[in-house]
């Protein structure tokens, strides 16, 4: 069991669906959504939210700065 | 009265720059204006006023250093000679497009190409019609003496900042190299950081405080509508210059039947020409444009009402003559406009000019009236 | 723990720096430019340099860099950013001035300006984005295009007999006594981004300490120009670009001292 739990908030409309965050996620939390945003991009989202450890790798690699990350100690 | 000295035109440019509170000079050596940077380097103004002097790796770099420094709202300048100005033309276009004030000096030599190091006025078109790309104008001052090399440095900066537009002193190798008596301007301090922010903080890259929006200095605008608006704003500015900044000197024009038009070195030759022609009984006057842009159209139109002819005297194949023709045409006058000049670094002599005048206007001189054609 | 319990201000660990404004960047999805812009903005914010910083934007894809970071900016002509930065920095030595240039801008049309600015040891930071291609004009060959690499002007791959060799300009820059810190980084993984940020921070500090020119090359991707997905581009870069342009510090000294390795 991970010591930390995290949550990723993707600004859906700013995301360009490049998928770099999906590739950077060590826990395979993120995926590109079936749906598209207003610009027609398959935006990134937390497919497996429970697996997030809040490592912020996704935010660090995001070229469009559309990711905010929260982290809390696992209860 | 200020300090009086015997100096070369190029040396005076350097001295005047230091004394008028110039913040920086960026240049590259080229004959016949190398004394400008040589004088500055020997004077070491950074110890005295804090003025920066830097020898760039090329004219291309020098003008871009001016572009960068001018964007910060300070008084900066460069100088070069014809081939160097060609290289700088890209940067000058950017400076005009970004609406930055700065002072440029062209101590002209003969072209085209590497040409010659002797004096010339063949960069008239390049200077007043725009050497670089796009619809832009420089404020162009044409000194005819070493004294004016001094006076136009401060005036050039004043006009450049008034209109946020590059100004150019268009001299030639003779004015740059000759030694004359000059009364130097009194020294003014450089603007303080606070003064720069107060005067130019609304557009200059002075560093963004929390209290204002960021300043972006650019000539780029991808939106065609806005780019057209930018161009219209530039054109408005140029019309204002045409209304307010025309400078010229009229010499014995009041009763003149023939008007010599000449600037810079040629205007000195023509002063003597007027004397010689008057001694022969010819009613000849001299109009000396001091600003080549804005061009003194209005006075030419006035003179065209009674003059029989205009003769443009140039050290080129005849460039300014086209602007005189335009003014005379706009005046609805049938006064004849012609040109006489020498090229390749040769300065016409007063005798040559009198002979040219008599030959070109032989019809008018014989009959005493305008020739209709 | 429910997601809503995690998403609370006290648990915030990563967010956009306020120095980056809300304009959506014009870059293609996955472009390295966005990451490097972000690092610069974060560092200017963290080092409290907003009022001192003047950025010089190039011609190339990053021509609009000035739209995104809230500092004063100037847009240079193609290749001339180092000369523009020289003018700004010389006349305002208290400011922090940086240029942001691509490979066409810095290593082709602007070779003279970058060499001489670095040789004079101008107190500026140079960020050099090397993605081996001209992105903005549609994917033509750059001086850094790898041998055999297909671009729109080398449709059969770069032929070194015809086009010359991919230029390792950062290695040349490191030889110049005016430079203090010369490094080659990348931003293709989270670890690489963190390392790149440390390098840029050090480079900025060197400029503030007036040690001379600091030069940070970022080996980057251009997935549109390379015609690959962003993720595949990162992998291709790792396999092809980085072996030719190996990462790491090339020089760490102060100007005038020769300790280049």
B172 touches B121 (CB < 8 A): yes
Do the Cβ atoms of C105 and C79 come closer than 8 Å?
A: yes
For residue A15, give the chain C residue with the closest CA. Answer: C29
The answer to whether residue C87 neighbours chain B at the CB level (below 8 Å) is yes
Report how far residue B165's alpha carbon sits from residue B172's, in angstroms, rounded to the nearest whole number: 22
B79-91 confidence digits (pLDDT tens):
999 999 999 999 9
Whole-angstrom distance, CA of residue C242 vs CA of residue B329: 68
| Assigned domain for C10 exists | no
C-beta atoms of B60 and C87 within 8 A:
no
CATH of A4-73, one of 3.20.20.70, 3.30.70.20, 3.30.300.30, 3.90.1150.10: 3.30.70.20
Q: Which of B212, B221, B121 is nearest to B172 (CA)?
A: B121
pLDDT of residue A1: 58
For tokens 């740059």, the residue is B176
Query: Three-state secondary structure along B14-56?
Result: HHHHHHCCCCEEEECCCCCCCHHHHHHHHHCHHHHCCCEEEEC
The mean pLDDT value for B232-243 works out to: 98
Across the interface, whether the CB atoms of A63 and C15 are under 8 A apart is answered no
The whole-model pTM stands at: 0.96
* Unique residue bearing structure tokens 């001016």: B66
B121, B316 contact by CB (below 8 A): yes
**pLDDT tens digit string along C139-152?**
999 999 999 999 99
Helix ranges (H only) for chain C are: 3-6, 32-46, 81-91, 103-104, 111-120, 160-163, 169-174, 190-208, 223-226, 230-236, 242-244
C31-89 residue pLDDT tens = 999 999 999 999 999 999 999 999 999 999 999 999 999 999 999 999 999 999 999 99
Question: Which residues make beta-bridge pairs with C128?
Answer: C101, C217
B164-185 tens-digit pLDDT: 999 999 999 999 999 999 999 9
Nearest Cα of chain C lies from the Cα of B67 at a distance, in angstroms, of 6
Find the chain B residues whose C-beta atoms sit closer than 8 A to any C-beta of C: 23-24, 26, 52, 54, 56-58, 60-62, 64-72, 74, 76, 90-91, 94, 98, 205-210, 214-220
Structural domain boundaries in chain B: 4-193, 249-367
**Annotation: CATH topology of B249-367:** Rossmann fold (3.40.50)
Looking up residue C240, the CATH number of its domain turns out to be 3.40.50.970
Q: Tell me: pLDDT of C260 over 50.
A: no
Q: Is residue C146 part of a domain?
A: yes
Task: State yes or no: pLDDT of B194 exceeds 80.
Answer: yes
Eight-class DSSP state of C176: S
- Is B4-193's fold the same as B249-367's? yes
Q: Does C15 map to a domain?
A: no
For the segment C162-166, the average pLDDT, to the nearest whole number, is: 97
Total domains, chain C: 1
Count of CB atoms within 10 A of residue B96's CB?
A: 22
Average confidence (pLDDT) over B26-39: 98
Q: In which domain, by residue range, is C173 found?
A: 26-252
pLDDT tens figures, C98-157: 999 999 999 999 999 999 999 999 999 999 999 999 999 999 999 999 999 999 999 999
**Distance in angstroms (rounded) separating the CA atoms of residues B80 and B133:** 19
Which of B56, B60, B217 faces C74 most closely, judged by CB atoms?
A: B217
What was the pLDDT predicted at B282? 96
Q: Select from A71, A66, A6 the least CA-distant residue to C13.
A: A71
pLDDT at residue B371 above 80? no
Task: Return all residues near B301 (Cβ < 8 A) that are at least 6 apart.
Answer: B327, B328, B330, B331, B333
- Centre a 10 Å sphere on the Cβ of residue C246 and count the other Cβ atoms it contains: 11
What φ, ψ does residue C250 adopt, rounded to 5°?
-105, -20
C18 touches chain B (CB under 8 A): no
- Verify whether the Cβ–Cβ distance A63 to C35 is below 8 Å: yes
Classify residue C2: in a domain, yes or no.
Answer: no
CA-based nearest distance A14→chain C, Å: 7
What does the alpha-carbon distance between residue B85 and residue B75 come to, in Å, rounded to a whole number?
Answer: 19
A: neighbours with 3+ CB pairs under 8 Å? Answer: C
pLDDT of B141 over the 60 cut = yes
State the pLDDT at residue C261.
45
Start-end of H helices in chain B: 9-19, 35-43, 45-48, 59-71, 82-97, 124-128, 146-163, 173-177, 193-200, 224-244, 264-279, 297-304, 320-330, 350-360, 362-367
Residue length of chain B: 373
Mean pLDDT of chain C: 96
Instruction: Break chain A into its structural domains and give their ranges.
Output: 4-73
pLDDT tens profile B334-346: 999 999 999 999 9
pLDDT attached to residue C1: 78
Cβ C85 vs Cβ C98: under 8 Å: yes
Q: Is the pLDDT of residue C259 over 80?
A: no
Q: Which residues in chain A come in under a pLDDT of 50?
A: none
Classified by CATH at the fold level, domain B4-193 comes out as: Rossmann fold (3.40.50)
Each residue's pLDDT tens digit, B63-74: 999 999 999 999
Asked if the ipTM is above 0.90, the reply is yes
| C residues 109-148 closer than 8 Å to B (CB) | 112-113, 115-116
The pLDDT of residue B103 is above 80: yes
B166 forms beta bridges with B102
Average model confidence (pLDDT) across chain B: 97
Shortest CA distance to C47 belongs to which of C198, C238, C172?
C198
């Amino acid at each position: 069991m991970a010591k930390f739990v995290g949550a990723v908030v993707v600004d859906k409309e700013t995301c360009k669906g490049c998928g770099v965050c999906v590739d950077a996620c060590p826990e395979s939390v993120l995926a590109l959504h079936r749906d598209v945003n207003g610009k027609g991009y398959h935006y990134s989202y937390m497919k497996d939210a429970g697996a997030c450890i809040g490592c912020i790798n996704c935010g660090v690699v995001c070229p469009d700065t559309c990711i905010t990350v929260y982290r809390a100690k696992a209860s | 009265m200020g300090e009086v000295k015997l100096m070369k035109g190029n040396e005076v440019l350097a001295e005047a720059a230091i004394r008028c509170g110039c913040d920086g000079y960026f240049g590259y050596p080229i004959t016949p204006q190398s004394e400008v940077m040589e004088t500055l380097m020997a004077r070491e103004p950074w110890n005295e006023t804090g003025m920066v002097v830097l020898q760039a790796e090329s004219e291309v770099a020098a003008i871009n250093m001016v572009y960068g420094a001018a964007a910060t709202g300070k008084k900066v300048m460069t100088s070069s000679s014809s081939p160097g100005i060609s290289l700088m033309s890209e940067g000058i276009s950017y400076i005009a497009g970004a609406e930055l004030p700065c002072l440029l000096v062209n101590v002209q030599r003969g072209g085209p190409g590497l040409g010659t190091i002797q004096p010339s006025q063949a960069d008239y078109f390049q200077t007043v019609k725009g050497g670089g790309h796009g619809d832009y104008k420089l404020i162009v001052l044409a000194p005819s003496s070493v004294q004016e090399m001094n006076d136009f440095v401060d005036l050039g900066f004043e006009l450049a900042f008034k209109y946020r537009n590059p100004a150019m002193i268009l001299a030639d190798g003779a004015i740059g190299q000759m030694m004359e008596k000059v009364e130097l301007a009194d020294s003014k301090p450089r603007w303080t950081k606070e003064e720069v922010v107060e005067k130019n903080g609304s557009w200059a890259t002075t560093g963004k405080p929390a209290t204002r929006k960021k300043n972006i200095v650019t000539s780029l605008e991808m939106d065609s509508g806005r780019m057209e608006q930018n161009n219209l704003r530039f054109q408005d500015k140029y019309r204002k210059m045409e209304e307010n900044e025309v400078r010229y000197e009229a010499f014995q024009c009041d009763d003149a039947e023939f008007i010599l038009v000449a600037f810079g070195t040629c205007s000195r030759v023509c002063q003597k020409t007027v004397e010689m022609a008057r001694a022969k009984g010819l009613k000849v006057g001299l109009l000396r444009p001091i600003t080549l842009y804005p061009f003194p159209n209005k006075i030419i139109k006035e003179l065209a009402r009674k003059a029989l002819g205009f003769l443009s005297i140039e050290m080129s194949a005849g460039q300014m003559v086209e602007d005189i023709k335009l003014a005379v045409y706009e005046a609805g006058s049938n006064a004849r406009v012609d040109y006489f000049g020498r090229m390749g670094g040769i300065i016409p002599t007063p005798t040559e000019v009198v002979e040219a005048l008599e030959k070109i206007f032989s019809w008018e001189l014989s009959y005493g009236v305008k020739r209709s054609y | 723990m429910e997601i809503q319990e995690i998403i609370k201000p006290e648990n915030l660990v990563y967010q956009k720096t306020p120095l980056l404004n809300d304009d959506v960047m014009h870059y293609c999805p996955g472009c390295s430019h966005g990451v490097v812009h972000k690092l610069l903005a974060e560092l200017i914010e963290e080092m409290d340099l907003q009022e001192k910083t003047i950025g010089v934007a190039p011609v190339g894809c990053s021509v609009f860099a000035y739209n995104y970071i809230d500092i004063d900016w100037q847009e240079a002509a193609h290749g001339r950013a180092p000369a523009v930065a020289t003018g700004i920095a010389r006349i305002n030595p208290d400011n922090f001035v940086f240029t942001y240039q691509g490979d066409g801008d810095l290593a082709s049309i602007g070779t003279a300006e970058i060499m001489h600015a670095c040789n004079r040891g101008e107190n500026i930071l140079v960020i050099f984005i090397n993605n081996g291609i001209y992105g903005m004009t549609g994917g033509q060959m750059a001086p850094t295009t790898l041998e055999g690499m297909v671009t729109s002007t080398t449709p059969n791959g770069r032929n070194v007999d015809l086009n010359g060799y991919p230029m390792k300009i950062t290695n040349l820059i490191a030889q110049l006594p005016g430079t203090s810190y010369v490094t080659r980084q990348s931003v293709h993984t989270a670890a690489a981004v963190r390392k790149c940020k440390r390098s840029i921070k050090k480079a900025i500090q060197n400029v503030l300490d007036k040690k001379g020119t600091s030069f940070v090359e970022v080996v980057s991707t251009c997935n549109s120009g390379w015609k690959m997905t962003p993720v595949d581009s990162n992998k291709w870069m790792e396999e092809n670009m980085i072996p030719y342009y190996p990462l790491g510090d090339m020089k760490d000294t102060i100007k005038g001292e020769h300790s280049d390795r």
